[in-house]
Structures are given as structure tokens and as C-alpha cells.
Structure 1
């Protein structure tokens, strides 16, 4: 390799490194700024930075409305994600393992809600609830999140079913295992990484969802609605503290999921 080609390779390598750093900065710099100014010793989360202090974290944890909103978001997120995962998994299993008429059409209708705005989903459920004389509540918020997340869980599960899995399931059936036992002891363990990833993704979307939660809740609100109420009064370091707590919680959840998957791979090896 001559000097010219070496310089050219190094220049392309440098450009690639700069591009990678720019991408990482674009993704993580807002999070770093959010966490940094959650420790701001002042009324506004803007430069210059003064601190650090844990005052705003104490304010968040002392605010019963915010703590209740976090609890509501957690309950709605876990409940709707589990139901979305079960419904999406069973729908994907049925379409993958059985020859049904109009299977492509059914698959299209199952993923169609992914293209519908969350605002339309929330307004549609609000109209139906009003027609049925059902008051807005967290139950309606959870139903809207199932409508939103179930197609995503279905798409993730449907992409992972394979002929190899089908042969293993057939072998288990030939050995006398019933369908529920095959699902619980054969299919679910093989699909565990996909199911965990689908649950985390559904939970994250449910936790962040604002539009349908705003339309379908009344007195019991979720965290995004509570944050919106705070931001109506202007910038506040409390929102940074809330965002930092949520970020740390998501990181902890991702690390736990990664540890579970690593242990599963280690045991299978």
C-alpha cells in the first residue's frame, strides 16, 4: 500500500469516526443535558449550571400527584404490555401454524392500527365510551394502549416464527404433549428473547404515550399528562428530575433484560 492510498484510507476512517461521534452525540447529548440540569440549584434548568443539588428530586418524590402518576403509568404500562404481548403472540402463532383463508388479509388488518394516529385511536375510544356511558378512566387508557401496542407485538412475534420451531413443536406433539404444554414449555422458551424485547418496547411506548392518555383519563392521570400540566407553567427542573428518574429506570430495565437473556444463552450453551 503506497502513501497516497494509506492517507485516503485514514481520511475515510476519520470521516467514519466523526460520523459515528455525531450520531452518538445527536442521540445522547439531550439525555446528558436533561440529567445534568436535573441537579440545577436554581428555578430554571438553563445554563449556566449551578449545583449540584438533589433538591428537585426531593420535590418530585414529595409530590403525591407526580408519584401517583408514575404509579398509574407503571400499572397501565405493565398491564397493557402483557395483554398486548399475549394477544400478539397468539395471533402470530395462529397465522404461522395454521392454514387460514385470507391469511394475508388478516395479517394486514392486524398491523393496520400501526398506521393510525394515536389521536384517532383516543378520539375513537372516547366516542365509543361516551356512547356506552362509560366515564374516562385508566381502564380506557389501558385499552387504547393495547390497541396501539398489540400490532407491534404481533409483528415482532410473526417475524420470528420459523420452520425449525414448527418441527420441534411437531416432535413434542408426537411425544404426547398437549397444545398448551407445547406453547408453554416449547414455543415460549424458544421465543423468549423476542417476547422480552416486545414487552420492553410495548412498555416504553405505553409509558411515553400522551394523546390517548390525555383524552381518556380524568382524575387518575399518567405521567406524561402530569408533566404536561407542569410544563404549562413554564420550564421547571422538576421535569428534568422526572425525566432522569425515568431514564435511569429504563436503563435498569434494559440491563435486567440483557442479564436474563445472557443467562439463558449461557445455560443453553
Structure 2
């Protein structure tokens, strides 16, 4: 039974990480095509990627959109979750359902709807409009994670703070948010991850300044290249580093 469990775990990890291993391996390909056999090991494609101004600009754009849109989504989701968890409102179940509903809608439908709204209102497409789209898809996630983390322990601490004279905003800033720090951090970093590699909304809601997935798509139109593997490896390295840092700091401190 134990051998079967280990075999299942090995197959599971191989299924998840084998594509990543292939991506990283052929990012060091010395040849011009990222296909077997491996023709020597070289860092030339990493040098090409890091010296590409358009690619680096797209990388910075993706980082800015991801961080800012995730921050806005987290704040709005936290406030909505706190309100619906602590205040009894008529139709609160319907409100929760409406807040979570965008999670079940295709990104293409959301992008087309936002594109129509922006065109009708005369708003020019830019990184800002892409960020608005990412807030729409990430806000339900932040709301769901934060709402699920709220319990009686936070409620009692909030009541005690109000009894001691704290205002509602002081309770939110000094009691609710610190007690929900692990959940808020998880919601934020998940939102950053989803925004970081989101393509459809970024493609339809940007024009001249694009994000990294759109720039990579433009590179793929000219054919396969180890350069795309190199930029994918760098993005994977950044994502893994963030997850490890999060695990070693916030989650371990919470335990």
C-alpha cells in the first residue's frame, strides 16, 4: 500500500512538473530550436531576453498591473467580506452569490463585456483598463478567501476593541486585518499569480503598452525559440520564490 502511495505521488509530481522541467532544460539550448536533442548548454537566450527592451518593458507592465490590481481587489474584497460577515443585511446570501459569480464566468466574456463598456464610454484601452479587468476577476477570489477565514475568534476580538472605544476603521486596521493576515496574504499572492499570467483580458483591453503574456504571444507568432523558454523559466523562478518567501514568513508565523 505504501509503495502504491509513493508511486501515485511520484506520478502526480511528474505530471505537474515535467512540462516545467522540459521548459527550463531547453531554455539552455545552444541551438535555435527548443527541441531534442539538447545541443550543448548556453546562457545566450537568457542574455537575449534580459537585453530585449520590449520584453523587459512588458515584464515591468505585468508586475505593475498584477500588484496594483491585486491590491485594489484585496481591499474591496476584504471590506465586502467583513461587511457581509458582521452585518445582517436583507438579501446577504444573494449579495455573496453575486460577488462570487464572476468566478464562474469565462474570462473571454468578461473581457468582451468590459471592452464594450470602455468603447461606449470613450475610455481608451491601456494598462489601466487591463488592471480594471483583473480587479473584476480577482475580487471574487479575495472575497471568498477572506470571508471563509472569518470566525468567532475575530468577532470576539472586534467586540472587545469596540468596548474599549475603538472606531470601526480602527477595528478594521488594528484588529481584523492583522488577525486575517495569512488569509489576506494568500488572497493577494493568488491574485498576483492569476493577474501575472492572464492573457485574454490583457490582450483585449490593451493597445500599445502590453503585459508579458501578450508580448510572449507576439514572440510565438514568429516561431518557437529558446528565448520563450528562457522568459518562461524566469517567470517560474519568480513565482516559486514568492511562494517560498510567503511560506517561510507569514504562514509559518501564523502557525
TM-score for both structures, normalised by structure 2: 0.98
What's the counterpart of residue 49 of structure 1? 38
| 1:214 correspondence with 2:203 | yes
* 1:71-91 deviation per Cα after TM superposition (whole angstroms, max 9, x unaligned): 000000000000000000000
| 1:147 correspondence with 2:136 | yes
Question: Which of 126-135 and 89-98 deviates more?
Answer: 126-135
Pairwise CA distance, 1:20: 0.8
Question: For 2:206 and 2:28, how far apart are their aligned partners in 1?
Answer: 31
Pairwise CA distance, 1:15: 1.4
What's the counterpart of residue 126 of structure 2? 137
Which of 73, 89, 96 is equivalent to 2:78? 89
Which has the higher Rg, Structure 1 or Structure 2? 1
What's the counterpart of residue 176 of structure 2? 187
Question: For 2:187 and 2:41, how far apart are their aligned partners in 1?
Answer: 37
1:167-206 equivalence runs, <5 A: 167-206=156-195
Question: Size of the alignment, in residue pairs?
Answer: 255
What's the counterpart of residue 213 of structure 2? 224
Q: Which runs of 5+ in 2 are unaligned?
A: none
Q: Secondary structure at the match of 1:159?
A: helix
Question: For 1:27 and 1:255, how far apart are their aligned partners in 2?
Answer: 18
Pairwise CA distance, 1:191: 0.4
Pairwise CA distance, 1:264: 3.0
Contact 2:182 2:254 in 1 (8 A): no
1:1-269 equivalence runs, <5 A: 12-261=1-250, 264-265=253-254
| CA 45–152 in structure 1, closer or farther in 2 if over 3 Å, else same | same
Contact 2:182 2:251 in 1 (8 A): no
* 1:116-154 deviation per Cα after TM superposition (whole angstroms, max 9, x unaligned): 111111111111111111221111000000000000100
Pairwise CA distance, 1:260: 1.9
Pairwise CA distance, 1:51: 2.4
Question: For 1:20 and 1:251, how far apart are their aligned partners in 2?
Answer: 20
Question: For 1:72 and 1:199, how far apart are their aligned partners in 2?
Answer: 18
Pairwise CA distance, 1:262: 5.2
Contact 2:126 2:206 in 1 (8 A): yes
Pairwise CA distance, 1:50: 2.0
Q: Secondary structure at the match of 1:105?
A: helix
Q: What CA RMSD, in Å, does the superposition of the two structures yield over aligned residues? A: 1.1
Pairwise CA distance, 1:257: 1.3
Q: Which runs of 5+ in 1 are unaligned?
A: 1-11
